[in-house]
Structures are given as C-alpha cells and as structure tokens.
Structure 1
Amino acid sequence: MGKFIVNGGNKLSGEVSVFGAKNSVLPILASTVISGNKSTILNIPDLRDVEIMEKILTSLGCSVERIDKIIWVDSKPINQIKIPEELVREMRSSIILMGAMLARCGEVIVSYPGGCEIGPRPIDLHLKALKELGAEIEESHGFLHCKTNGLKGCDIQLDYPSVGATENTILAAVTAEGTTIIRNAAREPEIIDLQYYLNKAGAKVSGAGTSVVTIEGVKNLHDVTHNIIPDRIVAGTYMAAAAITEGEVIIKNVIIDHLQAIIAKLKEAGALIYYDNNSIKVVGPKKINSIEMLQTLPYPGFPTDMQAQMMALLSIASGTSIITETIFENRFKHAEELARMGAKIKTFGKVAVIKGVKELTGAKTTAKDLRGGAALVLAGLVAKGTTEVENIYHIERGYENLHLSLQDIGADIKKID
C-alpha cells in the first residue's frame, strides 16, 4: 500500500510546477474512442487513475502508447463493448465512457463505478440524459447494458449541475443526429478543456463554462493534438501547504481564473498572495485566521476537492471555523484522522466545526480518500514530530509524486513502499 513519513516544522520555500489536471485528462481520454482516429494528448500527469483509463482503453481494443507526458491513442481498432469490471470499480470517472461508447459503437456494458468512498454519487442523472438522447438501458446484477439504434439531439435539463453527467451527455451528443442543448450544465474548467479538445477534432460544442451547453451533431471527427490544462486542485494543495507552514512558495503553470475561490479563502485565513499570468506566490501568515464560514459549492464556488486541505489549515487557526460540505455526504473522514494529531473537530452531518489548536502532533494516520490523504500530509508538514500517512494509493490517484514535489520546496517527507 505504501506510506508517507513526514517530519514537521520546516517552512516551505521555492518553486513548484503543476501538472495536467486529472479531472480533465480522464474525460478527454474517454472521448478518444468516439472518433476512430488518432489523438495525441500532452501534459499527461503520472497518476494511478490515468493508468487505469489507459488499461480500459487497451481492453476495448485501442492502441495506446505513452512516453513521459504524452499519450497517443488510436481508437480505430476498438473490438469490445464490455468495460472490465475490476477497472471500473477502481475509478469512478470510467462511467463517462458510456456516452463515448454509445456514440462510437451504439452499445456498451459497464458495471457501477467505484472510486473514493465519499458518499453516494448516484449516476441517475447520467442515465436519464442518455435515455433522453435515445439510449435503452437495462440494469441487472450490478451491470448497465446500454444500447441505441441512433442517438438524437434533444433539450436536456439536468436536475443538478453534475460534472460527470454534463461530460457524459456531451460525449454522447457529439455525433448524435441534430442539436443537443444541456441546461443547468456544470461550469467547471475541465468541461471547457473537453470542449477545446472535441472542437479541435471537428466537433461543434459551444457554451462550456456556462450553464447552457449546445452540441451540434457531426458525422465524423479527425486526428487531434491537445494540451491538458493544469490541475487547479493540485495548485490549491500547494498553496495551502505554503500557508500552513508559514512558507513562501511560487506555484508555476497555473490558470489564475481557476483558483479565485481558493485565493479568496486563503487570503481570509491571512495568507499573502501575488500572481501574474501563469504563476502564483503564496506567503503563509504567522497567525492563521479562523474562517467564519466556508461552504463547498459547484464551480465557481469553493471546490469540494479543497475542503479537506482547508480543514487541515484551519485546525491550527486562531479561533473557530465552520465548514459546510454541500457536494458529498461523507467527506469528513479526514476529521477523525486529524483528531489523532490533536485537532479539535466536531462534525454534524454536513457541517464541521473546527476549534483551532496551538499545535498538532505527529501520529499514525490513514488516508481514507484522495483529498483527505493530502490533508493529512499538510497537517504532517506543520505537526510537531513525525506523522505517518498510510494507504497513500488514494493520494497517488490524484497527485504525481507529491513527496518529491514537497521535498523540492523544503519538506521533510519520504515515501516507503
């Protein structure tokens, strides 16, 4: 499983670069199956989730080659419609292959997805949208068998601005007959990146980044080369690491617009933040301010994927902070692990009350999910003594060599396999 050993007390300083966004590369890799052509994807992060998506594409018959940060996918030789159950259960994002495979093959068999256990994440919205486009879906024995005689564009009103449902619908609609309009669409930057990729390949998608996305169906897509946007959550994690350690860190290769909600809350906590076109400098405060209310919301609100890291930061703030988690029901598992380190946190359903303490102390902890694991590493950076973070395979699903990047800016952290 592997673990991180963190010796706290070092102020971080220096420069660190951000790699491609996990939540962008996965739907784009899924979308490569639509065209039956060749895709060259640049700025690929070295993550477990990306490896799983590569294996899924290979299992379907695609030719997949990877060298360093570049992946080449030739989806012409696809010869399977069933996605291996063991791979789907490892990664929730695999569900967006439903839309892409329906567009390409008119049929797909997939099991219910896995991923981090952070509460119910029903795929009802995905299924409802695909049915409206003309898919027939049978559910039995934990599997979904989706097929269509031809998808047709329509108006789709999402009950909630789900990122995955928005992406799945876009992928299914790219080659559907007629025009599809998605209302109450998710507005995340990763959806804009998906639109860029698809349009480079010849699709006609517009409105990504707004609540109304329009897809005019086209018959064919062509070869494409695309560069993945930087990961805003990884950038936010490094920003929080600088703040929690009283550090001074420059984070390079970022898109400032994507970080505004995180910037606002870190400033509220007392951090000084400076930025230009594609880099941001964070200077941590000597005294971290409590935050009266932090509420996670769909983009452009504060991201749920940064909630755990902010909880670690606020655990040593002066005063009491309140976090409300509105996206996922079971995303406070890291609270009990932070408590092992001396944090005073009480959770009540979707609300966490954090009473800041003067210092955290090192302890043996376990990463229960991806972002919660990152939060434990941040806490370890500032804790007195040594912190062990076990089950780091969760962390490696979303952070490329986190320990090495932190070492480069002065952290005392090592990985033990």
Structure 2
Amino acid sequence: MEYTSAGVILINMNSKVLIVQYPEGHWGFPKGYKETEDKSLVDTAKRELKEEIDISPNFFLDTNRYQFNESYGKKKIIYFIAFTINSNINLCNGLNSYKWVDIEDLDKFPGFLSKQIVRKLVELKLDDITIVKKVNLKDNITKTNEKVDIPPSKHAYSRLVPLELINDNIKIENIPNTIDSYYLNNLLNRVNKHCSNECFFIDDDEISNCWSMVNILPAVVWKVGKVYLPGKPSGCSIGKRPMNLYLKIMKDFGFEITENNGVLSVRVPFDRNVLVTRMVSDLISYGKFEWLNEEQHYLEELLLFLKKCGFEIYSDDYRIKIVALDKVVDQERVVLNCGHFPKICSDWQPLLVILLCHYLIPFELSDDVFENRFQIFSQLVYLNNNIVLNKKSSNKIVIDYCDTTEKITTSSNLEFKLLNIRDAAAILIASHQSKLNIEFSNLLQLFRGYETLENVLGEKVELYSYEKQ
C-alpha cells in the first residue's frame, strides 16, 4: 500500500492518548500529508507532530513492528506509536482543541474517525517498554553530523522552578523533557491550586521518582505554610547524597536572563552531563569528538584528566576537539578522583569508567559522593572480560586488565535493568561493541536525565529499538 499521509498515536506518562480537534470539527490523531523533504513516513509523522502541537516525543516504538493504517478513499494513512513525558501542548496550524484521553474513551468523541484502530490499541506504560539492541542490525554506523545538539539541563531547571512560585512574572524557557521535569511541573500545578490553610501532602511517586524535589521544597513551604513528606527524596539506587551540595549558592552557572514588558525570562542552559555522555559515546564509537557552542563548557578539569590519559585535546572556552589513541599502548595507572568541584564530577564517573575500560587504561578510582556508584561493574563484566577489579575500600577501587582471548561465556541474549541515570547511559554506550542481543528494562531511570536515546548514543541509536515487554 502506498501511503499518502502519516500520523502519531502519542501516549503520555499517565497512559493517556492525545487527540486533536480539526477545524472541520472532527477529532483524530495528529497527522498530515507526506511532503517532498520527508525522507520517510516516520519523518512525516515527526514533522506533523512538531507542526501541529509543538512536541518532539521522547521515543517511538519500533516503527517496523508497531504501526496501524486506515483509508478514506484515496487517502491512505499510517500511524506510529510514540511516547512523551511532556504533556504540555501548543496548538498550531488552526487546530481547535486537544485532549488526553483513556484508550477506552476514544470512540466516544463525535466525529472520531479512527475507531477501527482503537480496537487494536492496548494501554501502555513506561514500565512496559524495553530498549533492545539486536546483533548485526547494522554492520557499520557512520557519523553523519558533526553538530552535537545538547538539551537543557534538568539540574538547572530544578533550581529555577521555585522562581515560578515566588514571582508571577517569571517565565522559564527551554524546559527539559525529562521525568524530573514531569514531576516538578505536576507539583507546581498542585501547589498553585492548594488551599493555603491546609497541610500540603507530597505524593509517594513525586518523592521517590524525583530527587530534584529537594530544590523546590523551600519555596513550597514558603507558599503553603506546611508540607508533609512521606519520606526522604530519592530517585535511584546510588545511595544517600550530601545535602550541602544542593545548599550552595549557584555561581557562574550560565543562566541566560532577559526582561520583556516586566516579565523576566530565564532560559535553562545546556546539560553538561549530556555533553559528557555524547563525548564518551563518540570517543568509543568513532575515536574522536568535536563540539562548538555559544555557551562555555566549563570542562577544564575533565579535559586535563583526559589529556593525562593520552587523548589529544584541542579546546578553548567554547570549542572542544578530542582525538583518541590510534592503538592501545601500555601506560601507568591514572588516578580518577570524583566528587565536588574541583574534583571530576561524580555524575561522570560511570561514563569515564567505560571510556577507560574501552581503551584498556588502568586506573584508580575514588568517589566522595555516591556510595553505590561502583555497581556498574556488576553489568560491565558481562561485556568486557579483560577487567580485573580490586576493591580497596567502600569508595575506592583499582582497575587493571588481563590478557585473554577467551570469549565471554554467556547466552546469545543479555538482560540489564538500568540502575540509575548515568549508569544507564554508560551501559548502553558500552553495549555498542557487543555481539549479543541485549534488552534493557527500567527505562524510568534513563529518562530521568535524558530526553531521548539519541542524547546518549548519537547515530548509534540505529542499533536499538523500543519494544513492548
């Protein structure tokens, strides 16, 4: 069948489906005609979604497996399934309205034309989705775009959110499309609707899935007077974190602030954690990394460390170029101390671990912040059997390598539960070189800090697909 149009069945965090009302009055899924610049029907679907409702989804389910079609005379439409954390819609192109609807209620809307498709849909939750890497899906992935797009920082956003509770003339722009943003926005909406003479209760979901909640709590208490927490903020399994890190005054963070007609606009800066993630991903995949931006990178300490490891570094405040070693060479053990500035950021520790292990650079590693950060080795050993781990203490380990020609003895399939934000990114990157089928579950952890899988893998995302468990 030759399709003339493509659309998206968009699902949000609450498992609701988006429908829009067209100027003619009928309701349907966002869709539109294929145009000459569209390289594929998936490109058509993505473009129409952006043009009609101003959303770029976090991911699409495998577009070869999960698709639906319908026909109206000569009009033949194909739909793909996508998932978004951001439920804020900006209607464009003359659309009348939109609604997030339970699947079973879709055919109750007047003039809804896709009732045949509704009968085939089932409720989907993020917990139902896994990322699957398949063996030899593509033999070789080439880097096609030197430009590395870095999304806004979730940490910076969580520190800006309290301003909206304190001042009605604050507008935050460039909001990251992550799990933490979802919970922070929901909390904001609930606080603004709250009756001030009653105790405000923070939900279990909010406090267990969003550690960034600590950054908004003082403003919430100031706004409502009394707040009840069911426990301490958490979010992942890397252990307790010292509160003083989040109580320090933010200096030189790179916020872009503008004022227009009395409204103060604060733009969230780019996410350095994602920048370092892509840096490691490209160095492992292609042996080089280049980046240029109008904002400063503030990565001097990290670049100095990589230079000590033997990488060639060319950089100034706004540009980075790194070239990896042509071949593995014997070198002395390097020392990687992670913690608060001026030490290497603890968030980058698992990413640097897989980089050093990939190039067989021996190292001594310590971490002053995250007590459970070394748990990535429980998964990494299944992908690299050269690693020799010697644990010196609860926060210090030494890594060397053994000469081995033995293959890792395992089945043709691996299953990894994503442990936390950065371990998740690291193990996904480390799986690049694997000749095994690998399935990754617990996607909540990945999307707590990354908008899309492309933020982690770049072009290598073509080796992976999203599938329903």
TM-score by length of 1: 0.67
- Determine if contact 1:47/1:399 at 8 Å carries over to the other structure: yes
| Alignment-derived partner of residue 115 in structure 1 | 235
1:230 to 2:274 alignment: no
| Alignment-derived partner of residue 19 in structure 1 | 151
Partner residue of 1:241 out of 278, 281, 304: 281
| Alignment-derived partner of residue 42 in structure 2 | none
1:46 to 2:88 alignment: no
Residues 319, 54 of structure 1: CA spacing in aligned structure 2 closer, same or farther, 3 A cutoff?
A: closer
| Alignment-derived partner of residue 342 in structure 2 | 300
- Determine if contact 2:272/2:297 at 8 Å carries over to the other structure: no
- Determine if contact 2:273/2:348 at 8 Å carries over to the other structure: yes
Report the Cα distance in structure 1 between the residues aligned to 2:219 and 2:198, rounded to whole angstroms.
14
Q: CA deviation at 1:11?
A: 6.4
**Equivalent residue of 1:388, what SS?**
strand
- Determine if contact 1:163/1:188 at 8 Å carries over to the other structure: no
Residues 386, 276 of structure 1: CA spacing in aligned structure 2 closer, same or farther, 3 A cutoff?
A: farther
- Determine if contact 1:293/1:321 at 8 Å carries over to the other structure: yes
Q: CA deviation at 1:409?
A: 6.2
Q: CA deviation at 1:402?
A: 2.0
Report the Cα distance in structure 2 between the residues aligned to 1:401 and 1:79, rounded to whole angstroms.
39
- Determine if contact 1:246/1:286 at 8 Å carries over to the other structure: no
Residues 346, 284 of structure 1: CA spacing in aligned structure 2 closer, same or farther, 3 A cutoff?
A: same
Partner residue of 2:395 out of 316, 333, 350: 350
1:7-406 matches, within 5 Å, as 10=140, 13=143, 14-35=146-167, 37-61=168-192, 81-111=200-230, 112-121=232-241, 123=243, 162-166=244-248, 190=253, 193=255, 223-253=263-293, 255-275=295-315, 278-287=318-327, 291-343=333-385, 344=387, 345-347=389-391, 348-356=393-401, 363-403=414-454, 406=457
Letter in 2 for 1:349: S
Q: CA deviation at 1:296?
A: 0.5
Report the Cα distance in structure 2 between the residues aligned to 1:262 and 1:78, rounded to whole angstroms.
49
- Determine if contact 2:199/2:224 at 8 Å carries over to the other structure: no
Report the Cα distance in structure 1 between the residues aligned to 2:271 and 2:394, rounded to whole angstroms.
29
Residues 410, 102 of structure 1: CA spacing in aligned structure 2 closer, same or farther, 3 A cutoff?
A: closer
**Equivalent residue of 1:5, what SS?**
strand
Report the Cα distance in structure 1 between the residues aligned to 2:251 and 2:462, rounded to whole angstroms.
31
The superposition leaves residues 288-331 of structure 1 with CA deviations (integer Å, 9 ceiling, x where unpaired) of 57652101021232000000011111223335211111112111
Residues 260, 311 of structure 1: CA spacing in aligned structure 2 closer, same or farther, 3 A cutoff?
A: same
The superposition leaves residues 167-213 of structure 1 with CA deviations (integer Å, 9 ceiling, x where unpaired) of xxxxxxxxxxxxxxxxxx5x6754x64xx76xx79xxxxxxxxxxxx
Report the Cα distance in structure 1 between the residues aligned to 2:263 and 2:221, rounded to whole angstroms.
20
The superposition leaves residues 80-121 of structure 1 with CA deviations (integer Å, 9 ceiling, x where unpaired) of 733333212211111222211233344333332121121123
- Determine if contact 2:364/2:398 at 8 Å carries over to the other structure: yes
TM-score by length of 2: 0.60
Q: Which has the higher contact order (CA 8 A, sep 6+)?
A: 1
Residues 15, 408 of structure 1: CA spacing in aligned structure 2 closer, same or farther, 3 A cutoff?
A: farther
- Determine if contact 2:350/2:423 at 8 Å carries over to the other structure: yes
Q: How many residues align?
A: 322
Higher mean displacement: 336-345 or 305-314: 336-345
In structure 1, list runs of 5 or more residues that go unmatched: 63-74, 124-161, 167-184, 202-221
The superposition leaves residues 129-152 of structure 1 with CA deviations (integer Å, 9 ceiling, x where unpaired) of xxxxxxxxxxxxxxxxxxxxxxxx
Report the Cα distance in structure 2 between the residues aligned to 1:107 and 1:12, rounded to whole angstroms.
55
In structure 2, list runs of 5 or more residues that go unmatched: 1-126
Report the Cα distance in structure 1 between the residues aligned to 2:398 and 2:462, rounded to whole angstroms.
29
**Equivalent residue of 2:443, what SS?**
coil
- Determine if contact 2:414/2:439 at 8 Å carries over to the other structure: yes
Letter in 1 for 2:219: A
Report the Cα distance in structure 2 between the residues aligned to 1:12 and 1:95, rounded to whole angstroms.
42
Residues 376, 405 of structure 1: CA spacing in aligned structure 2 closer, same or farther, 3 A cutoff?
A: closer
